[in-house]
Amino acid sequence: MTAQSGTWVWAEERSAVGALRKAALDLARAAKFSEVRTEQLVIAVSEATSNLVKHAVEGVVLVRPHPERPDVIEYVSIDRGPGFADLGRALRDGYSTAGTLGVGLGAISRLASGYDIYSVPGKGTVLTMHFSPDDVPVSPLRASGLTRPIGEEMVCGDAYAAVETDDLITVALCDGLGHGPAAAEASAEAMEIFRRAAHLPPGEILTRVHEGIGHTRGGALAIARIGRAAVTYAGIGNVAGWIISEGARRGLTSMPGIAGHQSRTPREFGYDLPRNATVVLHSDGLTSRWNPATVPGLFARSPSVISAALLREAGSRRDDACVVAVKAAS
């Protein structure tokens, strides 16, 4: 699994609907969707985006290949209001926001092969939908994340990757130094080395990556291995790691330095992982001041929704941003 290809689109003007329709159509053709399935995808993307343009505040949308299945298309939308006071009602047949195509949220969700939604009145809504070419249900991943470039940059200097083996998920996140193509090159190289070394302990993976990206700008780097009841973590530089459980969070320890250039001897740290906990890694494109208590119920949602909501809550437009969430095995 790797960070997305795709472009965030502000859903504040009607032109956003056309731009996202085209993006969805291009992805559907690449994934060899049937004409019927392509039409269903385009209707869902158009309606969901139209709702954002008409009713949301600071709506933004990403359409991308699914992080693990490139034949599946993922739609992610984030906004800051008004939210749904009665989400159950909004998902029932016959409910439609005024002036849209007439397809309500419930109908949109049925066109998708899988979806998840998180909404708080006055705070906003996060919606993720997945569309498979044959409409086979798509289950939420145990790990999912998002990247977003600074300002109007086309590439993000942050990246993540995840490798799942049985009950273990090993996740890497790299924040390339600076931003733009050179930062993206550093992060991409880090992820390639990580994938080749993902079978090793996190401290050894960190060493491999540190030694392998010396020809790049380097960056901040974190490696986490999440099992059923424990997390093993190793980090260099300003990447944040957290364990979230029962409305509280516990920080994971990184060593100072710059991966690829300067660092103390890498160290692994072990942590107990409570039942139903979530592990979150993010770059400093998200402030660390977010609080689980201000997003009630969020960590019961899917990793893709968790990542999107945290990007909304804590993301900065003045830096590249990356966030990935991982669910403990049940």
What CATH number does residue 32 fall under? 3.30.565.10
- Enter the tokens of residue 148: 């977003």
Domain boundary among 106, 131, 156: 131
Task: Name beta bridge partners: 130.
Answer: 74, 114
For residue 101, pLDDT over 80 is answered with no
Q: Given pLDDT bands bounded at 50, 70 and 90, which one contains residue 166?
A: confident
Coil/strand/helix, residue 2: strand
**316 falls within a domain:** yes
Range name among 137-151, 178-192, 206-220, 237-251 with the lowest pLDDT average = 137-151
Q: Is 136 exposed, middle or buried (0-12, 13-18, 19+ CB in 10 A)?
A: exposed
Instruction: Give the Å distances, CA to CA, from 328 to 78, 137, 163, 230.
Output: 25, 22, 14, 9
110, 136 contact by CB (below 8 A)? no
Percent of the chain predicted with pLDDT > 70: 93
What is the reported pTM? 0.93
User: What is the band of 2 on the pLDDT scale with cuts at 50, 70, 90?
Assistant: very low
Instruction: Please tell me the distance from the alpha carbon of residue 323 to that of residue 321, in angstroms, as a whole number.
Output: 7
Q: Which of 131, 154, 187 is the last residue of a domain?
A: 131
Is 18 in the same domain as 149?
A: no
Report if residue 3 sits inside a domain: no
Query: Does the pLDDT value for residue 182 go beyond 60?
Result: yes
- Indicate if 194 and 94 belong to the same structural domain: no
Residue 90 lies in a domain: yes
Per-residue confidence (pLDDT) for residue 163, from 0 to 100: 95
Q: What is the 3-state secondary structure (H, E, C) of 199-216?
A: CCCHHHHHHHHHHHCCCC
Q: What type of residue sits at position 164?
A: E
Instruction: Write the DSSP assignment of 155-207 as a string of letters.
Output: S-SEEEEEEEETTEEEEEEEEESSSSHHHHHHHHHHHHHHHHHTTS-HHHHHH
- Please check whether residue 137 lies inside any domain of the structure: no
Q: Give backbone dihedrals phi and psi of 323, rounded to 5 degrees, phi first.
A: -145, 140
Helix axes 15-30, 35-55, angle to 10 degrees: 150
Q: How many domains does the chain have?
A: 2
| H helix or E strand, kind and range, residue 74 | strand 73-78
Residues 284 and 234 in one domain: yes
The length of the chain is 330
175 in a structural domain: yes
Domain contains 1: no
Residue 112 to residue 183: CA distance in whole angstroms: 35
Q: Are 166 and 174 in contact (CB under 8 A)?
A: no
pLDDT of residue 3: 47
Q: What mean pLDDT comes out for the span 242-265?
A: 93
Share of the chain above pLDDT 90, in %: 74
pLDDT of residue 181: 95
> Would 138 be classed as within a structural domain?
no
Q: Say whether both 108 and 236 belong to one domain.
A: no
Same domain, 228 and 153: yes
pLDDT, mean over the chain: 90
206 and 95 in a single domain? The answer is no
* Best mean pLDDT range from 65-79, 129-143, 273-287: 273-287
Domain of residue 35 covers 9-131
The torsion angle over the Cα atoms of residues 260, 176, 325 and 105, rounded to 10 degrees, is -160
Span of 59-68, 79-88, 166-175, 273-282 with lowest mean pLDDT = 79-88
